[in-house]
Copies of this chain bind each other. A is one copy, B any other.
Amino acid sequence: MMVLESSGLGIKFNVLGNRGDRVCNFARCYDNSHYRKFVDDSTLVTYEFEQGNEDAMLLAQDEGKLVPEYENVWMKIERDREKEYLRSHGFPVARFVVVDGGEEALRAARDEFNWKAVIKRARGGYDGKGQFYILSEKHGEDLKKIEGKLVVEEFIDFDYESSIILSRGKEGISCYPVSFNFNREGILIYNYGKIKDSGEREVASSLSSSLDYQGTMGVEFFVGEGRVIINEFSPRVHNSGHYTLNFSATSQFENHIRAISSLPLGSTETMPYFGMVNILGKSKVNSSLLKEGNVFLYGKESTSPRRKVGHVNVSGNSVEDVKKRIERIMEQLYSNDLSFL
């Protein structure tokens, strides 16, 4: 999407680790084992996914080519690093402790959080994997045998989840509107907006400045009692910003490329009512889906029912109108049944 969306800027792209993808038709693709050549051949290196080729990232960082900088990736490798950064810099986060292994985690859930806690693996968590909710003494017996570093967090009884996408360039920060996010089993199913800003814009902007961040980032929040708590941030373009492809003057992808290239940011003006539904685990969709919105199929093989293989962007005359379209799409795609997750 970064390559496609920046196709008019006259930038040449190299892509690492994407041999089979459609992007290789219009960018030079490198096998992961050739990451040195990839970094050598590129003047700037960025990533669409912080769990990318770490050797390449470290080499690019060494050569001063990695944008956003490796510190952002480093923080995402182990969840406690991110949490610690946020807490120590005064950003609103859930109370947490870092422990070693399941037994210690359960003890913390009891002693620190009165059995209202979420236990998360420090490493490897993505799309809801490695997260366990402890909401009573009875939960979690089988977690005792988990080894390794865990983060035990206060369970936040939030009203809803939201996110905001922003791009930070050399000359400032441009924010997209706040969206409501519907997640299930740790996966974003759909989002829509714009919704009321409960502080997301200020907190996210302040975080990006604190990190001296360059690029597009997404910040996810829990919102309750009129205030926001950061769930996590993503140092990259974000799934909850895919609506910008159709409904914003400049997409999050183009603004990422502009920001990392030290080019002026493009306008983030966005249509007032927008939404997005992820297409999970389908090998094809019915063309009637095109009635509801703008369909993007990524050309991926579907390897699991949870795999994001595309999305549908929807607009409407009001947030309610967008929500109705999202319901129809959910019915079409999943018969409103998410139990496959």
Query: In whole Å, how far is A200's beta carbon from the nearest beta carbon of chain B?
Result: 23
Partner of A10, one of B266, B269, B293, B297: B297
CA distance A264 to B294 in the complex (A): 10
Query: In whole Å, how far is A234's beta carbon from the nearest beta carbon of chain B?
Result: 22
Query: In whole Å, how far is A67's beta carbon from the nearest beta carbon of chain B?
Result: 16
CB nearest to A251 among chain B residues: B246
CB nearest to A297 among chain B residues: B10
A interface SS class:
mixed
Interface residues of A in 258-273 (CB under 8 A from B): 258, 263-264, 266-267, 269, 271
Q: A246 to chain B: which residues have CB within 8 Å?
A: 249-250
A227 is an interface residue with CB less than 8 A from chain B = no
Is B264 a contact of A9 with CB atoms below 8 Å? no
Given contacts A22-B26, A294-B254, contact A249 B249 (CB under 8 A): no
Is A8 a contact of B264 with CB atoms below 8 Å? no
Partner of A26, one of B25, B247, B264, B267: B25
CA distance A284 to B10 in the complex (A): 9
Is B269 a contact of A315 with CB atoms below 8 Å? yes
Interface string of A281-299 (1 = CB under 8 A from B): 0001001101101111111
Is B249 a contact of A266 with CB atoms below 8 Å? no
Given contacts A25-B26, A249-B247, A249-B315, contact A267 B293 (CB under 8 A): yes
Interface string of A238-263 (1 = CB under 8 A from B): 00000000110110001000100001
Interface residues of A in 191-233 (CB under 8 A from B): none
Query: In whole Å, how far is A129's beta carbon from the nearest beta carbon of chain B?
Result: 27
Q: A25 to chain B: which residues have CB within 8 Å?
A: 25-26
A146 is an interface residue with CB less than 8 A from chain B = no
A310 is an interface residue with CB less than 8 A from chain B = yes
A7 is an interface residue with CB less than 8 A from chain B = yes
Is B8 a contact of A310 with CB atoms below 8 Å? yes
CA distance A220 to B101 in the complex (A): 71
A4 is an interface residue with CB less than 8 A from chain B = yes
